[in-house]
């Protein structure tokens, strides 16, 4: 695994381009978000998505989320009601994963049984730079250890994922609290997981 140290505030240059190159070739990367480190790949590369399921030891019945650059891009991959839009506008970019009805653009491997999908717009310069350079959504699932708890120390992550993941963008230690997951598919929002995001956006 390549481990590249990158400036979290000015994520330009060769390290970012290298990460995008790995994504375009169907590789799997680890990258920082506004909550914890995420495992990512091109959502349209079936082999890469399947590889992430294997790495995580997840059943395909547990769909993976992905990151987008903004609300406008989300509307390509999910149906956003007026009520959902108002909530998302208050919370994005930020530490939230919103569960929404998926459009036909979303690959089947990422869909739940209910044909829904989890989408994030993290408030982190590296996520935005990656999405801009790559030009498409990127899978986002938490980097966890054997016990399922998040890993936040780069040395620990490298030791665990060496030979398993292709590249890591290292910004030093991150937090241990994942995003708040909010289901916006029904008439009223449902908090699926309370994490870093403040629930006042639902008020």
Domain parsing of the chain, residue ranges? 2-202
Question: Model pTM?
Answer: 0.95
Q: What is the pLDDT of residue 113?
A: 87
pLDDT at 169 over 80: yes
Q: What is the pLDDT of residue 192?
A: 96
Give mean pLDDT, residues 9-29: 94
The Cα–Cα gap between 34 and 38 comes to 10
2-202: which CATH architecture? Alpha-Beta Complex (3.90)
Q: What is the pLDDT of residue 88?
A: 98
pLDDT at 200 over 80: yes
pLDDT-based confidence at residue 10 (cuts at 50, 70, 90): confident
% pLDDT > 90, the chain:
89
Helix axes 14-24, 125-134, angle to 10 degrees: 50
Reference 91, options 176, 8, 174, 182; nearest CA is 182
Give mean pLDDT, residues 112-121: 94
Q: What is the pLDDT of residue 69?
A: 96
Per-residue pLDDT tens digits for 48-84: 999 999 999 877 778 899 999 999 999 999 999 999 9
pLDDT-based confidence at residue 112 (cuts at 50, 70, 90): confident
pLDDT at 198 over 90: yes
Q: What is the pLDDT of residue 72?
A: 94
Give mean pLDDT, residues 198-203: 95
Give mean pLDDT, residues 90-111: 96
pLDDT at 16 over 80: yes
């Amino acid at each position: 695994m390549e481990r590249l140290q990158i400036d979290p505030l000015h994520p330009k240059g060769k390290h970012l381009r290298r990460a995008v190159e790995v994504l375009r070739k169907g590789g799997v990367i680890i990258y920082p978000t506004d909550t914890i480190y995420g495992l990512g790949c091109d959502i349209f590369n079936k082999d890469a998505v399947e590889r992430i399921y294997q790495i995580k030891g997840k059943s395909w019945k547990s769909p993976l989320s992905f990151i987008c650059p903004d609300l406008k891009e989300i509307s390509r991959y999910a149906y956003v009601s007026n009520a959902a839009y108002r909530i998302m506008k208050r919370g994005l970019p930020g530490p939230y994963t919103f569960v929404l009805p998926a459009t036909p653009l979303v690959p089947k491997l990422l869909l739940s049984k209910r044909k829904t999908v989890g989408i994030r717009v993290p408030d982190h310069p590296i996520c935005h730079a990656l999405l801009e350079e790559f030009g498409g959504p990127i899978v986002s699932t938490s980097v966890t250890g054997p016990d399922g708890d998040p890993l936040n120390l780069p040395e620990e992550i490298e030791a665990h994922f060496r030979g398993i993941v292709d590249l890591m963008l290292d910004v030093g230690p991150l937090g241990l609290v994942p995003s708040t997951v909010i289901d916006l598919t029904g008439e009223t929002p449902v908090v699926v997981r309370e994490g870093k995001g403040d629930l006042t956006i639902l008020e």
